[in-house]
Amino acid sequence: MFALGFVQAMMAPRAAPGAAARHRRACMSGVQDWLDSQMGMLPVLASDRDAALLLPGQSGWISMSPERQPVFDSARLLHHSCLGQPIGDDGLIAVLEVEEQQDADESGGRRVRVKCVGRALAELYASDSVSTPVKPFRDRELELYDIFAAADYEAVILQADANCCAILSRIAEHRQARGHDGGAADDVPAELVAEPLPFILAKHRAALSADAPPELRGAGAHEPWKTTIHPGLAIVQGGAMACDRPASYSGTAAPDDTLTRLGALWGRDHDAAETQFRSFGTASCLPPLQALQTRDTLERLELSVVAFTLRERQLAARLALEQAL
């Protein structure tokens, strides 16, 4: 049995009525209940190389074709609204939680909204209708020095992201000065224009948090419950050494327990889980398949550093061209 019970979460007092309470109950009846059930089974979608992949914390739409209807029915009725989506051909899958929203797609068919909550390994899957034995999957274990290194990588990525935002603003200013009606992104490739990284990290956390009311999901990073710093930085600020490393980092606010609730998917070590989760947020510049298939947190961060550095240089070249006109 690879999923442990979340005793404290199950024994918590019932929340008062309201949007936040409804969202909290929805979280409790989804992926946490699947982990609590310790069944170790999930219906897995058939492999589709053209299907869009989601990073942990991201939400999106999946087509609910007639061929896929059995897997969605199985997810809702037997697996606490959870299902698997193949990431590659080696059994690695993304664990998706089905949300209640349904909508019509462009072809007139039905689609369902899902969010990615982590990864797992499936022993065998052959078709949409098969429930498959799975076990939660995480990156390789992180030591204290890995967490320090990850904090350094993230600092470089955040700086590169801030530089990209500043360059885009300067491009827009030059165009306005020339009387150009459009913004900076008019002819800039879409892959070079993205939301600020702190916003992405906050949005991913809000998607997994049981304490985030629906109206705050995707909001900015100013709410105290979402304001966190990298564990590597927090440990240094707290003066902790390897021999007395805290179970969870300390700060001005209580440690965020979003990932602790999903310990079977992310691990029981708060700092390691937080470091791994944040690496997927900073990997938003990478192709999702590459980010999800990477099984080492530091390797994922290294790839993100390269990608953000390349983005910054490409934007700088476009700014130089704007200035030369």
Q: What is the CATH number of the domain that holds 130?
A: 2.30.130.40
Domain count, the chain: 2
Residue ending a domain, among 137, 153, 188, is: 137
User: Do residues 131 and 231 share a domain?
Assistant: no
User: Do residues 174 and 230 share a domain?
Assistant: yes
Q: For position 250, what pLDDT does the model report?
A: 40
Q: Is the dihedral of CA 110, 191, 198, 263 positive or negative?
A: positive
Does residue 300 lie within any of the structural domains?
A: yes
User: Do residues 165 and 309 share a domain?
Assistant: yes
Q: 184-198, pLDDT tens digit by residue?
A: 555 666 667 778 888
Does residue 74 lie within any of the structural domains?
A: yes
Q: Which two tokens stand for residue 322?
A: 């704007």
Does residue 59 lie within any of the structural domains?
A: yes
- What does DSSP say about strands 82-86 and 92-104: parallel, antiparallel, or unpaired? antiparallel
User: Do residues 186 and 292 share a domain?
Assistant: yes
Give, to the nearest 10 degrees, the angle between helix 144-177 and helix 231-238.
120
User: Do residues 177 and 264 share a domain?
Assistant: yes
Q: Which domain holds residue 26?
A: 7-137
User: Do residues 70 and 160 share a domain?
Assistant: no
Q: For position 126, what pLDDT does the model report?
A: 55
For the chain, which ranges sit under pLDDT 70?
Answer: 1-29, 38-39, 50, 100-101, 103-109, 124-130, 180-191, 210-228, 235-256
Q: For position 64, what pLDDT does the model report?
A: 81
Does residue 197 lie within any of the structural domains?
A: yes
Residue ending a domain, among 91, 122, 137, is: 137
Does residue 312 lie within any of the structural domains?
A: yes
User: Do residues 163 and 244 share a domain?
Assistant: yes
User: Do residues 148 and 239 share a domain?
Assistant: yes
User: Do residues 124 and 195 share a domain?
Assistant: no
Residue ending a domain, among 107, 137, 167, is: 137
User: Do residues 116 and 185 share a domain?
Assistant: no
User: Do residues 15 and 65 share a domain?
Assistant: yes
Does residue 1 lie within any of the structural domains?
A: no
Tell me the pLDDT of the chain averaged across its residues.
76
Q: For position 269, what pLDDT does the model report?
A: 87
User: Do residues 125 and 152 share a domain?
Assistant: no
Q: 94-122, pLDDT tens digit by residue?
A: 999 998 667 666 666 688 889 999 999 98
d(CA 205, CA 281): 9
Does residue 2 lie within any of the structural domains?
A: no
